[in-house]
Structure 1
Amino acid sequence: MAGRLVERKLGDTLSAAMSSPPAEGIRFYWLGQAGFILEMAGRRLVIDPYLSNSLFEKYRDTPRPHVRMMPPPIGPGECGSVDLVLATHAHTDHMDPGTLPAIFAANPAAVFVAPRAVRQQALDRSGLSPDRMALVDAGEVVRPFPGLAITATRAAHETLETDEAGNHRFLGYILEAGGMRIWHSGDCVPFEGLREEIEPRAPGIVLIPVNGRRPDLSDNGVPGNFTLGEAIETARGVGARHLLAHHYGLFDFNTEDPAVIDQAAASSRDLDIRRARTGICYEWRED
């Protein structure tokens, strides 16, 4: 699809921007970590929002107290008119009990898309009844609104994991509207078959974590993600034109140096690499 990705600095707060209904076209905003607000097909979607301090409350007296390095750019109840919330998996910084109930309370018609393998966690963290949930597995396509299609993809948060029924615990999502496809990989590392799964779907924009992985963390229950180099290689491998690098800058024990991302962006000629930043509207404009 011919077009370009442009950045526009918000003139006010993100909550002020969200006070207006979603406009036509495609635009998105970074919430920190793996969280995004996207506007597509005249709808507002929220993916993996972590807008609380619930992890600090949980881990405050441990060697990794999960102190925020950046404040939430918006309050959980300030996301405006939300039609759909998606979670890629059940880790708290992606499926947050300190964030989800407030979003759903402010949007009583919003639907929650989550992996079928983590159904109970999704119910418990969101506080929703089952009729407001759309549970999916890798390979399934949901069409919640006219003009919007969502395809669930496999993700390996260091490993591919399934429940007893074979449903994947970790997912990514390809969001399609107006001929443009955006792939949010979820927390993931390279695995055999990933490129073959994503490349035929031809995402133009990919949202990929770049915090990498460390054995000392993985051995203590903190699985990792793509390194920056792997994220770039994956973006090129699936034929994307634009890579937005995220999942950095929130917890000091599990991040990437922003300067390293910026250096990679400056030196890339065939792939548009950008470091996700708050206070920015990323907008797709057709030529």
Structure 2
Amino acid sequence: MTIHSDWGDWLPTAIAAAEPDGLAVWYLGCNGFALKAADGTTVFIDPYLGTGDPPRTVRMIPVPFEPTDVVEADAVLATHDHTDHTHGPSQAPILTGTDATFYGPPTSVATAEAWTDEHGVDGNDIAEITEGETLEVGSLRIHVEPAHDPDADHPVGYVVEHESGTFFHGGDARPSEDFEAIGGSYDIDLGAVAFGSAGMIPDKETREPKYTQWYSNENMAAEAAAQLQLDRLLPTHWDMWKGLTADPTALRDHTRSFDHPRTLEILEIGDRTSV
């Protein structure tokens, strides 16, 4: 599979040229992020540049860059093994074109191991992680935490600490005791929570329409933000799949009476914010 960008190379060029004062965050659409710290440390989390599996899953947003245009990266993190989170055509070229190491839970690593033959990835650039571990990547301290995603096999979340603040990425996880524990252990400035509607999506095997909910709805996203004690809630995934898209501005009514999140921060694909 060859990936063609709708936008050319301006986004990875902008990331490479950026000189943030603290920790900058770019939303890549779906549930993907690029993080860059003041010292240049650059980490991608769940970057996905595929178009899905039409007509079952149909991408509704642009492909923002080609992975071969990424010239600087220290790590690629995967939260779980679903295609839009662990994807060889999207992630292997980042590994082969930079000094990045791929980190993921066992199921993601099992998928990535095939990239050594399929995409020429060095096996030493694939590392398995699990809950309770801490990674030191440049100026970033990354904690691997458990995550409750009933549709995934061994998902994890990441707490990324930098001297300027803390970012949390929960993959597609939903509210749970895991989020409560994370919220009690860290002071999270900005947290990404997967949010979307439910819809009739063709079954993977039979292709018959099937009621499908893969992400938190409005009340669940609000509950997740409260459990994580987020200062700022950043909803993700609402833009991605035809039939499961949602309006993130609706979350204002669902979160405004709670102590957390203090702020709802909505980014569109390609937008940049800071932690």
Q: Same fold (TM over 0.5)?
A: yes
Larger RCO (alpha carbons 8 Å, 6+ apart): 1
Cα displacement string for residues 80-107 of structure 1 (whole angstroms, at most 9, x for unaligned residues): 3111111111111111122112212321
Residue 239 of structure 2 corresponds to 249
Letter in structure 1 aligned against 2:24: R
Where does structure 2 lack aligned partners over 5 or more consecutive residues? Answer: 1-8, 206-211
1:1-287 paired onto structure 2 within 5 Å: 13-20=10-17, 23-40=20-37, 42=39, 43-53=41-51, 55=52, 59-60=53-54, 62=55, 64=56, 66-107=57-98, 109-125=99-115, 127=119, 128-145=121-138, 147-158=139-150, 161=153, 169-178=154-163, 180-211=165-196, 213=198, 224-261=214-251, 267=256, 270=259, 271-284=262-275
The CA distance in 1 between the partners of 2:230 and 2:106, in whole Å, is 28
Contact kept? 1:18, 1:78, Cα under 8 Å: no
Relative distance call for 1:274 and 1:263 in structure 2 (3 A) is farther
Relative distance call for 1:192 and 1:25 in structure 2 (3 A) is closer
Contact kept? 2:132, 2:145, Cα under 8 Å: yes
Computed over aligned residues only, the root mean square deviation of the Cα atoms, in angstroms, reads 2.8
Letter in structure 2 aligned against 1:149: R
Tell me how many residue pairs correspond in the alignment: 255
Cα drift, residue 52 of structure 1:
2.6
SS of the residue aligned with 2:34?
strand
Where does structure 1 lack aligned partners over 5 or more consecutive residues? Answer: 1-11, 162-168
The CA distance in 2 between the partners of 1:207 and 1:80, in whole Å, is 25
The CA distance in 1 between the partners of 2:27 and 2:143, in whole Å, is 21
Cα drift, residue 182 of structure 1:
0.9
The CA distance in 1 between the partners of 2:136 and 2:143, in whole Å, is 9
Relative distance call for 1:150 and 1:30 in structure 2 (3 A) is same
The CA distance in 1 between the partners of 2:59 and 2:228, in whole Å, is 33
Cα displacement string for residues 256-277 of structure 1 (whole angstroms, at most 9, x for unaligned residues): 1244246657x56852012221
Contact kept? 1:217, 1:223, Cα under 8 Å: no
Cα drift, residue 49 of structure 1:
0.6
Letter in structure 1 aligned against 2:234: L
Contact kept? 1:24, 1:41, Cα under 8 Å: yes
Cα drift, residue 201 of structure 1:
1.7
Cα displacement string for residues 46-82 of structure 1 (whole angstroms, at most 9, x for unaligned residues): 11011133x2xxx33x5x2x22211022222223311
Residue 5 of structure 1 corresponds to none
Percent identity of the aligned residues? 25
The CA distance in 2 between the partners of 1:135 and 1:198, in whole Å, is 25
